[in-house]
C-alpha cells in the first residue's frame, strides 16, 4: 500500500485525541508531583509544577499524534478488509456471506419476503466455447442487469442481490406479493435474454433460469433459498430461459373428471 497523505478529517480526529492525552498527562503529572512534594517538601513546588505542565505539553503531542493517525488508518484498513470479505470482486455484488448476513436481519421482521435463485443457462458451454475471460464478462453483464432491475423494483422494503456461487445469483425482495415477485422473475428472464454479450466480434445471447420461493412462518433464509433452488432446477428441466415459482410445484393438480 503506497504512502498516503494525512487527510483533514484524520488530522482533526488525531488532534482531539492528542488534546485528551496531553491534558490527562498534565493532570497525572500534577497528581504525581503533589505526592512527591509531600515526601521531599514544598521548597521547589513551583518548579515541580512547571515541569509537570511543560513536559506533557511538549512531549505528548509529538509522541501521540503519529500514533493516533496510524491507529485511525488501521481502523480504516480493517473496515476496508471487512467489506472485501463480503464482496464478490468479479461482479462487485455482495457475496454469499454478505447475502446471508443481510437476509438474517431481514428475516427477523414479520413481513413478506421472496427469494430468487438465478442460474446462467449452459454456462459451462459458454466457458468451453468462448473461454473463461468471456465467461467472466457474461457473469458481470448478468450481475449488472440483476442489480439494476432489483434496484428499480418499486417499494421501500429491503431488496438486494448477490453472487452466491459460480454462475448462481440470489435475490431477496421484501414486501412483494407472490404475483408481483413472479412478474419480477419474468422481467429478469426477459431483460437478460435481450442483452447479448459482446465477444470476439460477435454477440452471444445469454439466458437465465429463475426459481422463486416465499418465506413462510419459521423458515430460515437457507430453507427458502433451497426451495427457490429446486424451483430453478425445475425451470431448467422445462427448457431454461424461464422462471418457476415453488408454490406452483407444491400446488396439487386439479382432479380429472370423467368425460
Supply the residues annotated as catalytic: 167
86 DSSP 8-state letter: T
- Distance from C-alpha of 95 to C-alpha of 163, rounded to nearest angstrom: 5
Hunting for cell 424451483 — which residue is that?
231
* 132-141: long-range contacts, CB 8 A cutoff, minimum separation 24: 134/197, 134/199, 134/200, 134/204, 136/90, 137/197, 137/198, 137/199, 138/197, 138/204, 138/206, 139/90, 139/91, 139/163, 139/167, 140/90, 140/91, 141/195, 141/197, 141/206
Q: Please give the span between the terminal C-alpha atoms of the chain, in angstroms, as a whole number.
A: 78
Contact 219, 206 (CB under 8 A): no
Alpha helices in the chain, H assignment, sequence order: 8-40, 45-84, 96-107, 123-130, 132-151, 178-193, 221-237, 246-250
For residues 29 and 47, the answer to whether their CB atoms sit within 8 Å is: no
Residue 211, Cβ density class (10 Å: 0-12 exposed, 13-18 middle, ≥19 buried): buried
How far is residue 41's CA from residue 45's CA, in Å, rounded to a whole number? Answer: 8
Amino acid at each position: 500500500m503506497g504512502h498516503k497523505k494525512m487527510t483533514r478529517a484524520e488530522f482533526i480526529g488525531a488532534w482531539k485525541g492528542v488534546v485528551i492525552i496531553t491534558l490527562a498527562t498534565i493532570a497525572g503529572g500534577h497528581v504525581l508531583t503533589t505526592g512527591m512534594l509531600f515526601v521531599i517538601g514544598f521548597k521547589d513546588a513551583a518548579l515541580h509544577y512547571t515541569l509537570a505542565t511543560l513536559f506533557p505539553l511538549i512531549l505528548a503531542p509529538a509522541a501521540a499524534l503519529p500514533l493516533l493517525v496510524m491507529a485511525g488508518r488501521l481502523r480504516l484498513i480493517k473496515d476496508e478488509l471487512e467489506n472485501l470479505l463480503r464482496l464478490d470482486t468479479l461482479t462487485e455484488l455482495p457475496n454469499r456471506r454478505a447475502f446471508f448476513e443481510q437476509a438474517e436481519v431481514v428475516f427477523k421482521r414479520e413481513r413478506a419476503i421472496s427469494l430468487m435463485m438465478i442460474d446462467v443457462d449452459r454456462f459451462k458451454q459458454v466457458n468451453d466455447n468462448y473461454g473463461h475471460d468471456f465467461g467472466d464478462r457474461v457473469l458481470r453483464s448478468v450481475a449488472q442487469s440483476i442489480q439494476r432491475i432489483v434496484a428499480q423494483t418499486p417499494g421501500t422494503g429491503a431488496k438486494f442481490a448477490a453472487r452466491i456461487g459460480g454462475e448462481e445469483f440470489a435475490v431477496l425482495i421484501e414486501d412483494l406479493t407472490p404475483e408481483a415477485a413472479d412478474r419480477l422473475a419474468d422481467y429478469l428472464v426477459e431483460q437478460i435474454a435481450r442483452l447479448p454479450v459482446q465477444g470476439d466480434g460477435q454477440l452471444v445471447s445469454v439466458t437465465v433460469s429463475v426459481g422463486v420461493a416465499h418465506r413462510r412462518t419459521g423458515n430460515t433464509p437457507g430453507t427458502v433459498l433451497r426451495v427457490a433452488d429446486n424451483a430453478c432446477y425445475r425451470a431448467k428441466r422445462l427448457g431454461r430461459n424461464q422462471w418457476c415459482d415453488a408454490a406452483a410445484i407444491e400446488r396439487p393438480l386439479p382432479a380429472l373428471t370423467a368425460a
